[in-house]
Amino acid sequence: MLYIIVALSAEARGLIDHFKLVRTYTLPYTMFESEQIKLIVTGIGFDNAMMATSALLGHCSPSKTDMLLNLGICAAPKNFEIGEAFLAHKICYKDGFYFPDILFEHSLKESDILSVDEPASEILNLPVDMESYGVYKAASRFFSTHQMLFFKVVSDHFEPERVTKELAIELIFKNLNNLNAVLNSAEYVIKKDPLFTQEEKERINSISNYLTKAQSDAFYDACCYYKLHHKKPLHLSVPEKEKLSKKERSDYLESLIKTLTL
């Protein structure tokens, strides 16, 4: 699943068409979804970003192979062109810092970004937005450092009055190819094939039902050992009896572990 966090509806517009998302009403936020994507519009600023991100992720409980994308426009100094996209590798806010890991190759610039509480009209030497820090703060409870992407598009050189809704839509739209490339690469790094097939998982569960908690942990470890060491499918037979005595359970576990780890 890809979780997309944007502050403004204008930032969402291009993504809704591109990813064929439909409006949903699960949470009291503007949200769009497809089978693989959930997008939330948070509203502007640190608090809004943090609250909406927490609400979405708390509701959905992301997994180790999911990704979070915070996409948005930002102000930047003149060494960035208007419309240029970059990835943030350090997010600063007041005295705090976050460091998302960018562990995949990509062709964009990377930069620090400063999150502020008011639209920035004073010229600074690094890009500035209002949400990255809030999004990271909430999302880091749910994601590893390499599962979170901060994809920013420069909308102005510290002239917030020049930024219109139409401009935001256009700038994001023009960067959809860049975004696709980044998402592909990030997915390559994040994706992990499951160790067990569905059938194997079910078999492990039914056998575990015969065992105590500690025994089923030891049994699960032995199954992992077998799969990782032999790299072969796991064939396990479930006992014929419905229940096992304490002694039978221990003998059964011992024989399972022996077979799996020999």
Partner 1 sequence: MNHLLKPSHCDFFSHLYIEESVKEEALTWKIMQKFSNSKIIFIKHYKDVFNRPNQDFGVQSKSKNLILARREAPFLYEGSYYSDGFEYEHFFYTPSILGCLYDCEYCYLSGMYNSANSVFFVNTGDFFDAVLTYLNKPTLIAISYDTDTLAIESLTSHTKEWIEFAQKHPNLHLEVRTKSANFKSIKNLTCNDNIVLAWTLSPQKIIDLYEHKTPSLEKRLSSIKEAIDAGWRVRVCIDPVIYNEDFNELYPPLIDKLFTTIDAEKLFQLTLGSFRMSSTHLKKIKKLRRSDIAFYPYEVKDNIVSYGKTIEQNILHVMTECATKYIDKERIRTWQLQ
DSSP letter string over 157-200? SS-GGG--HHHHHHHHHHTHHHHHHHHHHHHHHH----SS-HHH
Q: Does 1 bind partner 1 (CB under 8 A)?
A: no
Task: Kindly write out the interface string for residues 79-118 of this chain, putting x where it contacts partner 1 by CB under 8 A and - elsewhere.
Answer: ----------xx------x-x-xxxxxxxx-x-x------
Contact map string, positions 204 to 243, toward partner 1, x by CB under 8 A = --------------x--xx-xx--xx--------------
Cα gap 74→7, rounded to integer Å: 11
Q: Is 174 in the site for partner 1 (CB under 8 A)?
A: no
Distance CA 242, CA 193 (A): 33
177 binds partner 1 (CB under 8 A): yes
Contact between 251 and partner 1 by CB under 8 A: the answer reads no
What is the distance, to the nearest Å, from the Cα of residue 36 to the centroid of all Cα atoms in its chain? 12
| Bridge partners, 86 (sequence order) | 109, 152
Binding mask 11-30 for partner 1 (x = CB under 8 A): --------------------
Asked if 184 interacts with partner 1 (CB under 8 A), we say yes
Structure tokens at 178: 């860049």
CB 209 within 8 A of CB 201: no
Positions touching partner 1 (CB under 8 A) are 89-90, 97, 99, 101-108, 110, 112, 140, 143-147, 177-178, 180-181, 184-185, 187-190, 195, 218, 221-222, 224-225, 228-229, 257, 261-262
